[in-house]
Structure 1
Amino acid sequence: MNELSWSKVDDFFVDTLVDQDEVLLAALAANSEANLPAIDVSPAEGKLLHIYARMMGAKRILEIGTLGGYSTIWLAKALPEDGKVITLEFEPRHAEIAAKNIRHAGLESRVTILVGPALESLPKLASSAPFDLIFIDADKKNNPAYLEWALKYSRQGTVIIGDNVVRSGRVADENNQDENVAGLREFLQRQGQEKRLTATAIQTVGAKGWDGFSVAIVD
Protein backbone atom coordinates (compact mmCIF):
# COMPACT_ATOMS: atom_id res chain seq x y z
CA MET A 1 0.00 0.00 0.00
CA ASN A 2 1.15 3.54 -0.74
CA GLU A 3 -0.17 7.09 -0.65
CA LEU A 4 -1.79 6.67 -4.07
CA SER A 5 -3.79 3.70 -2.76
CA TRP A 6 -4.67 5.58 0.43
CA SER A 7 -5.94 8.52 -1.61
CA LYS A 8 -8.03 6.25 -3.82
CA VAL A 9 -9.72 4.77 -0.74
CA ASP A 10 -10.29 8.27 0.64
CA ASP A 11 -11.86 9.25 -2.69
CA PHE A 12 -14.15 6.21 -2.50
CA PHE A 13 -15.22 7.08 1.05
CA VAL A 14 -15.91 10.69 0.10
CA ASP A 15 -17.84 9.71 -3.04
CA THR A 16 -19.83 7.14 -1.06
CA LEU A 17 -20.38 8.78 2.31
CA VAL A 18 -19.52 12.49 2.29
CA ASP A 19 -22.02 14.70 0.50
CA GLN A 20 -20.24 18.04 0.26
CA ASP A 21 -22.67 20.79 -0.58
CA GLU A 22 -21.92 23.84 -2.72
CA VAL A 23 -20.69 25.98 0.16
CA LEU A 24 -18.12 23.43 1.30
CA LEU A 25 -16.83 22.91 -2.23
CA ALA A 26 -16.77 26.68 -2.76
CA ALA A 27 -14.71 27.12 0.42
CA LEU A 28 -12.11 24.64 -0.78
CA ALA A 29 -12.02 26.30 -4.19
CA ALA A 30 -11.63 29.76 -2.66
CA ASN A 31 -8.83 28.56 -0.38
CA SER A 32 -7.00 27.03 -3.32
CA GLU A 33 -7.48 30.12 -5.49
CA ALA A 34 -6.08 32.27 -2.69
CA ASN A 35 -3.02 29.98 -2.45
CA LEU A 36 -3.67 29.16 1.19
CA PRO A 37 -1.59 26.25 2.50
CA ALA A 38 -3.25 22.98 1.43
CA ILE A 39 -3.70 21.84 5.01
CA ASP A 40 -7.49 21.91 5.37
CA VAL A 41 -8.92 18.83 7.03
CA SER A 42 -9.97 16.24 4.47
CA PRO A 43 -13.68 16.01 3.58
CA ALA A 44 -13.94 12.76 5.57
CA GLU A 45 -12.27 14.39 8.57
CA GLY A 46 -14.52 17.42 8.26
CA LYS A 47 -17.59 15.23 8.35
CA LEU A 48 -16.16 13.35 11.33
CA LEU A 49 -15.91 16.64 13.24
CA HIS A 50 -19.50 17.39 12.19
CA ILE A 51 -20.63 13.99 13.49
CA TYR A 52 -18.79 14.43 16.80
CA ALA A 53 -20.50 17.79 17.33
CA ARG A 54 -23.92 16.36 16.54
CA MET A 55 -23.37 13.23 18.65
CA MET A 56 -22.77 15.30 21.75
CA GLY A 57 -25.40 17.94 20.99
CA ALA A 58 -22.75 20.66 21.03
CA LYS A 59 -23.89 24.27 21.23
CA ARG A 60 -20.57 26.02 21.92
CA ILE A 61 -17.40 25.08 20.03
CA LEU A 62 -13.88 26.50 20.25
CA GLU A 63 -11.61 26.03 17.25
CA ILE A 64 -7.94 26.94 17.49
CA GLY A 65 -6.75 27.41 13.90
CA THR A 66 -9.20 28.61 11.25
CA LEU A 67 -7.20 28.70 8.00
CA GLY A 68 -9.87 29.32 5.31
CA GLY A 69 -12.80 28.18 7.41
CA TYR A 70 -13.46 24.77 5.81
CA SER A 71 -13.47 22.87 9.12
CA THR A 72 -15.27 25.82 10.71
CA ILE A 73 -18.14 25.41 8.26
CA TRP A 74 -18.39 21.69 8.97
CA LEU A 75 -18.59 22.44 12.70
CA ALA A 76 -21.02 25.35 12.39
CA LYS A 77 -23.38 23.29 10.22
CA ALA A 78 -23.69 20.84 13.11
CA LEU A 79 -24.95 23.49 15.53
CA PRO A 80 -28.49 24.59 16.34
CA GLU A 81 -29.54 28.09 15.30
CA ASP A 82 -28.41 29.53 18.64
CA GLY A 83 -25.09 27.66 18.62
CA LYS A 84 -21.72 29.37 18.29
CA VAL A 85 -18.24 28.52 16.98
CA ILE A 86 -15.46 30.79 18.19
CA THR A 87 -12.46 30.25 15.94
CA LEU A 88 -8.97 31.70 16.37
CA GLU A 89 -6.69 32.56 13.44
CA PHE A 90 -3.22 34.08 13.51
CA GLU A 91 -3.02 35.27 9.89
CA PRO A 92 -5.31 38.23 9.00
CA ARG A 93 -5.45 37.20 5.35
CA HIS A 94 -6.52 33.67 6.23
CA ALA A 95 -9.19 35.08 8.54
CA GLU A 96 -10.44 37.40 5.78
CA ILE A 97 -10.85 34.48 3.36
CA ALA A 98 -12.50 32.38 6.06
CA ALA A 99 -14.98 35.17 6.80
CA LYS A 100 -15.96 35.33 3.12
CA ASN A 101 -16.41 31.56 2.99
CA ILE A 102 -18.51 31.58 6.15
CA ARG A 103 -20.69 34.42 4.86
CA HIS A 104 -21.18 32.54 1.60
CA ALA A 105 -22.32 29.55 3.66
CA GLY A 106 -24.88 31.74 5.47
CA LEU A 107 -23.32 30.84 8.82
CA GLU A 108 -21.92 34.18 9.96
CA SER A 109 -24.42 34.35 12.86
CA ARG A 110 -22.98 31.12 14.26
CA VAL A 111 -19.27 31.95 13.87
CA THR A 112 -16.98 34.50 15.49
CA ILE A 113 -13.42 34.79 14.15
CA LEU A 114 -10.78 36.27 16.44
CA VAL A 115 -7.61 37.38 14.66
CA GLY A 116 -4.17 37.29 16.27
CA PRO A 117 -1.99 34.89 18.22
CA ALA A 118 -4.23 32.31 19.87
CA LEU A 119 -2.36 32.62 23.16
CA GLU A 120 -3.38 36.29 23.22
CA SER A 121 -7.02 35.62 22.25
CA LEU A 122 -7.60 32.70 24.61
CA PRO A 123 -7.45 34.68 27.89
CA LYS A 124 -10.32 36.84 26.57
CA LEU A 125 -12.77 33.94 26.23
CA ALA A 126 -13.65 33.24 29.86
CA SER A 127 -17.15 34.66 29.46
CA SER A 128 -17.81 32.33 26.51
CA ALA A 129 -16.82 29.18 28.38
CA PRO A 130 -17.42 26.36 28.97
CA PHE A 131 -17.23 24.88 25.50
CA ASP A 132 -18.75 21.53 24.55
CA LEU A 133 -16.18 20.70 21.86
CA ILE A 134 -12.67 22.08 21.37
CA PHE A 135 -10.75 21.44 18.14
CA ILE A 136 -7.02 22.20 18.24
CA ASP A 137 -5.46 22.57 14.79
CA ALA A 138 -2.92 25.37 14.83
CA ASP A 139 0.86 25.68 15.34
CA LYS A 140 1.84 22.42 16.99
CA LYS A 141 4.65 23.83 19.12
CA ASN A 142 2.03 25.57 21.26
CA ASN A 143 -0.27 22.56 21.62
CA PRO A 144 0.67 22.00 25.30
CA ALA A 145 -0.40 25.57 26.10
CA TYR A 146 -3.56 25.17 24.04
CA LEU A 147 -4.38 22.04 26.04
CA GLU A 148 -4.09 23.97 29.30
CA TRP A 149 -6.51 26.59 28.02
CA ALA A 150 -8.84 23.88 26.74
CA LEU A 151 -8.97 22.38 30.20
CA LYS A 152 -9.72 25.78 31.74
CA TYR A 153 -12.59 26.27 29.34
CA SER A 154 -14.08 22.79 29.64
CA ARG A 155 -16.81 21.15 31.66
CA GLN A 156 -17.36 17.52 32.51
CA GLY A 157 -18.08 15.85 29.17
CA THR A 158 -16.26 18.37 26.97
CA VAL A 159 -14.46 16.69 24.06
CA ILE A 160 -11.00 17.93 23.05
CA ILE A 161 -9.72 16.91 19.60
CA GLY A 162 -6.14 17.47 18.44
CA ASP A 163 -5.33 17.22 14.74
CA ASN A 164 -2.14 16.16 12.92
CA VAL A 165 -0.60 14.31 15.86
CA VAL A 166 1.42 11.69 13.93
CA ARG A 167 3.65 13.76 11.60
CA SER A 168 4.41 10.71 9.44
CA GLY A 169 5.55 8.84 12.55
CA ARG A 170 7.97 11.49 13.79
CA VAL A 171 6.01 12.00 17.00
CA ALA A 172 7.31 8.64 18.29
CA ASP A 173 10.95 9.48 17.55
CA GLU A 174 12.35 10.91 20.77
CA ASN A 175 15.48 11.99 18.91
CA ASN A 176 13.40 14.31 16.72
CA GLN A 177 13.38 17.64 18.52
CA ASP A 178 11.69 19.72 15.83
CA GLU A 179 9.66 22.24 17.83
CA ASN A 180 6.34 21.15 16.32
CA VAL A 181 7.03 17.44 16.81
CA ALA A 182 8.22 18.06 20.37
CA GLY A 183 5.11 20.15 21.03
CA LEU A 184 2.85 17.34 19.85
CA ARG A 185 4.75 14.76 21.90
CA GLU A 186 4.32 16.86 25.05
CA PHE A 187 0.67 17.52 24.15
CA LEU A 188 -0.04 13.78 24.04
CA GLN A 189 2.05 13.00 27.11
CA ARG A 190 0.19 15.59 29.14
CA GLN A 191 -3.14 14.10 28.10
CA GLY A 192 -1.97 10.69 29.23
CA GLN A 193 -0.90 12.08 32.60
CA GLU A 194 -3.87 14.39 33.15
CA LYS A 195 -6.27 12.83 35.66
CA ARG A 196 -9.13 14.99 34.39
CA LEU A 197 -8.94 13.41 30.92
CA THR A 198 -9.68 10.08 29.31
CA ALA A 199 -7.76 10.20 26.03
CA THR A 200 -6.66 8.21 23.02
CA ALA A 201 -5.12 8.82 19.60
CA ILE A 202 -5.72 7.20 16.23
CA GLN A 203 -3.35 6.90 13.27
CA THR A 204 -4.85 7.54 9.84
CA VAL A 205 -3.75 7.13 6.25
CA GLY A 206 -5.41 8.83 3.32
CA ALA A 207 -5.28 11.85 1.06
CA LYS A 208 -3.26 13.64 3.75
CA GLY A 209 -0.69 10.86 3.99
CA TRP A 210 0.21 9.23 7.31
CA ASP A 211 -1.27 11.28 10.12
CA GLY A 212 -3.82 11.01 12.92
CA PHE A 213 -5.74 12.77 15.66
CA SER A 214 -6.25 12.63 19.41
CA VAL A 215 -9.58 12.58 21.22
CA ALA A 216 -10.09 13.23 24.91
CA ILE A 217 -13.13 13.65 27.14
CA VAL A 218 -13.09 15.65 30.36
CA ASP A 219 -14.09 13.44 33.30
Structure 2
Amino acid sequence: MNWTSNSYHHNPQWTAVDVYTYKHSHPASRPNTKALESTLIASSSAGLPDYNLSPTQGKFLALHCRTAGVTNSLEIGTLGGYSAIWLASENPKLRLTTIEYKLKHVQVARKNIELAGLSDRIEVIHGAGIDVLSRLREEVEAGTRPKFGFVFIDADKDNNWNYFKLSKGIVKPNSVICIDNIVRDGQLADFSDTDQYVMASRQVVQNVGKEPGVDSVVIQMVGEKSYDGWLWAVVN
Protein backbone atom coordinates (compact mmCIF):
# COMPACT_ATOMS: atom_id res chain seq x y z
CA MET A 1 0.00 0.00 0.00
CA ASN A 2 1.29 3.44 -0.87
CA TRP A 3 -0.48 5.59 1.71
CA THR A 4 0.13 5.67 5.44
CA SER A 5 -2.78 5.14 7.80
CA ASN A 6 -2.80 8.91 8.46
CA SER A 7 -4.02 9.40 4.89
CA TYR A 8 -7.16 7.36 5.51
CA HIS A 9 -10.29 7.31 7.59
CA HIS A 10 -8.83 4.53 9.70
CA ASN A 11 -10.80 2.23 11.99
CA PRO A 12 -8.60 0.54 14.63
CA GLN A 13 -10.95 -2.45 14.59
CA TRP A 14 -9.72 -3.28 11.08
CA THR A 15 -6.17 -3.62 12.42
CA ALA A 16 -7.38 -5.62 15.41
CA VAL A 17 -9.05 -8.17 13.12
CA ASP A 18 -5.91 -8.48 10.98
CA VAL A 19 -3.70 -8.96 14.03
CA TYR A 20 -6.04 -11.56 15.58
CA THR A 21 -6.59 -13.62 12.45
CA TYR A 22 -3.02 -13.47 11.17
CA LYS A 23 -1.50 -14.96 14.33
CA HIS A 24 -3.75 -17.99 13.81
CA SER A 25 -3.47 -18.33 10.02
CA HIS A 26 0.27 -17.74 10.02
CA PRO A 27 1.73 -18.52 13.47
CA ALA A 28 5.23 -17.40 14.41
CA SER A 29 6.52 -20.97 14.02
CA ARG A 30 6.21 -20.79 10.21
CA PRO A 31 9.61 -21.02 8.46
CA ASN A 32 9.38 -17.65 6.70
CA THR A 33 8.26 -15.61 9.72
CA LYS A 34 11.72 -14.46 10.75
CA ALA A 35 12.72 -13.46 7.21
CA LEU A 36 9.54 -11.45 6.71
CA GLU A 37 9.84 -9.65 10.05
CA SER A 38 13.54 -8.97 9.48
CA THR A 39 12.75 -7.51 6.06
CA LEU A 40 10.31 -5.01 7.54
CA ILE A 41 12.79 -4.01 10.26
CA ALA A 42 15.71 -3.66 7.84
CA SER A 43 13.63 -1.65 5.37
CA SER A 44 12.45 0.73 8.06
CA SER A 45 15.99 1.10 9.47
CA ALA A 46 17.22 1.98 5.97
CA GLY A 47 14.66 4.77 5.74
CA LEU A 48 12.40 3.15 3.14
CA PRO A 49 8.78 4.35 3.22
CA ASP A 50 6.16 2.14 4.86
CA TYR A 51 4.46 1.15 1.62
CA ASN A 52 4.62 -2.62 2.19
CA LEU A 53 1.60 -4.85 1.86
CA SER A 54 0.08 -6.01 5.11
CA PRO A 55 1.01 -9.58 6.11
CA THR A 56 -2.48 -10.82 5.22
CA GLN A 57 -2.31 -9.22 1.77
CA GLY A 58 1.14 -10.67 1.17
CA LYS A 59 -0.02 -14.13 2.13
CA PHE A 60 -3.14 -13.86 0.00
CA LEU A 61 -1.04 -13.18 -3.11
CA ALA A 62 1.30 -16.03 -2.19
CA LEU A 63 -1.61 -18.43 -1.74
CA HIS A 64 -3.06 -17.36 -5.07
CA CYS A 65 0.22 -18.27 -6.77
CA ARG A 66 0.16 -21.63 -5.04
CA THR A 67 -3.40 -22.51 -6.00
CA ALA A 68 -2.85 -21.31 -9.58
CA GLY A 69 0.37 -23.29 -9.90
CA VAL A 70 2.40 -20.18 -10.78
CA THR A 71 6.10 -20.91 -11.32
CA ASN A 72 7.15 -17.63 -12.94
CA SER A 73 5.96 -14.33 -11.49
CA LEU A 74 6.59 -10.64 -12.13
CA GLU A 75 6.47 -7.70 -9.75
CA ILE A 76 6.71 -4.02 -10.64
CA GLY A 77 7.81 -2.06 -7.57
CA THR A 78 10.14 -3.99 -5.26
CA LEU A 79 10.57 -1.57 -2.36
CA GLY A 80 12.44 -3.62 0.30
CA GLY A 81 11.49 -7.01 -1.09
CA TYR A 82 8.72 -7.84 1.40
CA SER A 83 6.06 -8.95 -1.09
CA ALA A 84 8.68 -10.71 -3.21
CA ILE A 85 9.81 -12.72 -0.19
CA TRP A 86 6.19 -13.63 0.57
CA LEU A 87 5.64 -15.01 -2.93
CA ALA A 88 8.87 -16.98 -3.13
CA SER A 89 9.02 -18.27 0.43
CA GLU A 90 5.48 -19.68 0.26
CA ASN A 91 6.06 -21.22 -3.18
CA PRO A 92 9.33 -23.20 -3.41
CA LYS A 93 8.86 -23.79 -7.16
CA LEU A 94 8.26 -20.14 -7.97
CA ARG A 95 10.80 -17.83 -9.58
CA LEU A 96 10.16 -14.09 -9.34
CA THR A 97 11.40 -11.15 -11.39
CA THR A 98 10.93 -7.82 -9.63
CA ILE A 99 11.61 -4.33 -11.02
CA GLU A 100 12.65 -1.33 -8.95
CA TYR A 101 13.55 2.18 -10.10
CA LYS A 102 15.25 3.52 -6.96
CA LEU A 103 18.79 2.25 -6.42
CA LYS A 104 18.61 2.45 -2.63
CA HIS A 105 15.51 0.27 -2.64
CA VAL A 106 17.26 -2.22 -4.93
CA GLN A 107 20.23 -2.45 -2.58
CA VAL A 108 18.05 -2.95 0.50
CA ALA A 109 15.84 -5.49 -1.27
CA ARG A 110 18.76 -7.54 -2.55
CA LYS A 111 20.23 -7.71 0.94
CA ASN A 112 16.88 -8.71 2.47
CA ILE A 113 16.38 -11.36 -0.20
CA GLU A 114 19.90 -12.69 0.35
CA LEU A 115 19.34 -12.95 4.11
CA ALA A 116 16.07 -14.78 3.41
CA GLY A 117 18.01 -17.33 1.33
CA LEU A 118 16.04 -16.55 -1.82
CA SER A 119 18.60 -14.89 -4.10
CA ASP A 120 18.58 -17.93 -6.38
CA ARG A 121 14.86 -17.51 -7.11
CA ILE A 122 14.26 -13.75 -6.92
CA GLU A 123 15.83 -11.53 -9.58
CA VAL A 124 15.84 -7.81 -8.73
CA ILE A 125 16.23 -5.64 -11.84
CA HIS A 126 17.20 -2.00 -11.38
CA GLY A 127 15.61 0.35 -13.89
CA ALA A 128 12.55 2.28 -15.01
CA GLY A 129 9.52 0.03 -15.19
CA ILE A 130 8.56 0.78 -18.79
CA ASP A 131 12.12 0.31 -20.05
CA VAL A 132 12.62 -2.97 -18.19
CA LEU A 133 9.20 -4.31 -19.19
CA SER A 134 9.99 -3.56 -22.83
CA ARG A 135 13.21 -5.59 -22.54
CA LEU A 136 11.40 -8.43 -20.80
CA ARG A 137 8.83 -8.46 -23.57
CA GLU A 138 11.59 -8.80 -26.16
CA GLU A 139 13.06 -11.71 -24.21
CA VAL A 140 9.68 -13.43 -23.92
CA GLU A 141 9.03 -12.98 -27.64
CA ALA A 142 12.51 -14.33 -28.43
CA GLY A 143 11.86 -17.38 -26.25
CA THR A 144 14.75 -16.64 -23.89
CA ARG A 145 12.45 -15.93 -20.94
CA PRO A 146 9.24 -17.81 -20.09
CA LYS A 147 5.88 -16.07 -19.88
CA PHE A 148 4.66 -15.05 -16.47
CA GLY A 149 1.77 -16.61 -14.56
CA PHE A 150 1.12 -13.73 -12.19
CA VAL A 151 1.92 -10.00 -12.20
CA PHE A 152 1.74 -7.64 -9.23
CA ILE A 153 1.90 -3.91 -10.03
CA ASP A 154 2.71 -1.62 -7.12
CA ALA A 155 4.87 1.22 -8.43
CA ASP A 156 4.36 4.80 -9.67
CA LYS A 157 0.62 5.09 -10.12
CA ASP A 158 0.75 7.39 -13.16
CA ASN A 159 2.10 4.49 -15.20
CA ASN A 160 -0.37 1.82 -14.07
CA TRP A 161 -2.03 1.62 -17.48
CA ASN A 162 1.31 1.50 -19.30
CA TYR A 163 2.51 -1.25 -16.98
CA PHE A 164 -0.68 -3.18 -17.53
CA LYS A 165 -0.47 -2.98 -21.33
CA LEU A 166 3.13 -4.17 -21.35
CA SER A 167 2.43 -6.94 -18.84
CA LYS A 168 -0.57 -8.21 -20.77
CA GLY A 169 1.64 -9.31 -23.65
CA ILE A 170 3.99 -11.42 -21.51
CA VAL A 171 1.60 -13.53 -19.44
CA LYS A 172 0.21 -16.98 -20.02
CA PRO A 173 -3.53 -17.45 -20.69
CA ASN A 174 -5.70 -17.21 -17.55
CA SER A 175 -2.99 -15.35 -15.63
CA VAL A 176 -3.85 -12.61 -13.14
CA ILE A 177 -2.51 -9.06 -13.25
CA CYS A 178 -3.11 -7.37 -9.90
CA ILE A 179 -2.76 -3.60 -9.45
CA ASP A 180 -2.48 -2.23 -5.91
CA ASN A 181 -3.86 1.02 -4.44
CA ILE A 182 -6.81 1.35 -6.80
CA VAL A 183 -9.61 2.37 -4.41
CA ARG A 184 -7.63 5.07 -2.57
CA ASP A 185 -9.87 5.52 0.48
CA GLY A 186 -12.95 5.50 -1.78
CA GLN A 187 -11.78 8.54 -3.72
CA LEU A 188 -11.88 6.39 -6.86
CA ALA A 189 -15.62 7.10 -7.07
CA ASP A 190 -15.47 10.74 -5.93
CA PHE A 191 -15.39 12.47 -9.30
CA SER A 192 -14.69 15.86 -7.74
CA ASP A 193 -11.29 14.50 -6.68
CA THR A 194 -8.72 15.29 -9.35
CA ASP A 195 -5.64 14.01 -7.49
CA GLN A 196 -3.24 12.60 -10.09
CA TYR A 197 -3.11 9.16 -8.48
CA VAL A 198 -6.89 8.96 -8.21
CA MET A 199 -7.16 9.98 -11.86
CA ALA A 200 -4.61 7.31 -12.79
CA SER A 201 -6.66 4.72 -10.91
CA ARG A 202 -9.80 5.68 -12.80
CA GLN A 203 -7.91 5.51 -16.08
CA VAL A 204 -6.73 1.97 -15.51
CA VAL A 205 -10.11 0.76 -14.22
CA GLN A 206 -11.90 2.19 -17.25
CA ASN A 207 -9.31 1.05 -19.79
CA VAL A 208 -8.96 -2.46 -18.42
CA GLY A 209 -12.76 -2.77 -18.49
CA LYS A 210 -12.68 -2.10 -22.26
CA GLU A 211 -9.54 -4.09 -23.02
CA PRO A 212 -10.14 -7.10 -25.34
CA GLY A 213 -9.29 -10.47 -23.84
CA VAL A 214 -9.39 -9.27 -20.23
CA ASP A 215 -11.96 -9.81 -17.48
CA SER A 216 -11.53 -7.75 -14.31
CA VAL A 217 -12.95 -6.81 -10.94
CA VAL A 218 -12.04 -4.20 -8.33
CA ILE A 219 -11.84 -5.58 -4.81
CA GLN A 220 -12.26 -3.14 -1.92
CA MET A 221 -10.54 -4.06 1.33
CA VAL A 222 -9.99 -2.77 4.82
CA GLY A 223 -7.37 -3.81 7.36
CA GLU A 224 -4.24 -2.56 9.05
CA LYS A 225 -3.40 -0.67 5.84
CA SER A 226 -6.79 1.08 6.13
CA TYR A 227 -9.17 1.39 3.16
CA ASP A 228 -7.99 0.70 -0.36
CA GLY A 229 -8.19 -2.15 -2.85
CA TRP A 230 -6.90 -4.03 -5.87
CA LEU A 231 -7.77 -4.32 -9.51
CA TRP A 232 -7.75 -8.05 -10.25
CA ALA A 233 -7.65 -8.82 -13.97
CA VAL A 234 -7.57 -12.18 -15.72
CA VAL A 235 -5.98 -12.20 -19.16
CA ASN A 236 -7.75 -14.76 -21.35
The verdict on a shared fold, with TM-score over 0.5 as the criterion, is: yes
Number of the residue aligned with 1:30: 42
Tell me which residue corresponds to 2:170: 153
Q: Deviations over 1:152-177 (max 9, x none)?
A: 11221111111111111111122222
Find the aligned partners of 1:172 and 1:110 in 2 and give their Cα distance: 39
1:1-219 equivalence runs, <5 A: 3-19=11-27, 21-81=33-93, 83-126=94-137, 127=139, 128-219=145-236
- What is the one-letter code of the residue matched to 1:196? G
Q: Which is further off, 63-72 or 31-40? A: 31-40
Identity of aligned residues (%): 37
Runs of 4+ in 1 over 3 A off after TM superposition: 78-81
Q: CA deviation at 1:40?
A: 0.2
Shift of 1:78: 3.5
- TM-score w.r.t. the length of structure 2 is 0.88
Q: What is the one-letter code of the residue matched to 1:105?
A: A
Contact 1:68 1:98 in 2 (8 A): yes
1:8 maps to a residue whose letter is A
Q: Separation in 2 of the partners of 1:133 and 1:161?
A: 8
> What amino acid is the match of 1:84?
R
RMSD value over aligned CA atoms?
1.5
SS at match of 1:185: helix
Pairwise CA distance, 1:129: 4.3
Unaligned runs of 5+ in 2: 1-8, 140-144
Give 1:144 deviation, angstroms.
0.6
Which amino acid in the other structure matches residue 17 of structure 1?
A: S
Q: Which moved more, 1:108-117 or 1:18-27?
A: 18-27
Amino acid at match of 1:62: L
Q: Give the 3-state SS of the residue equivalent to 1:57 in structure 2.
A: coil
How many residue pairs were aligned?
Answer: 218
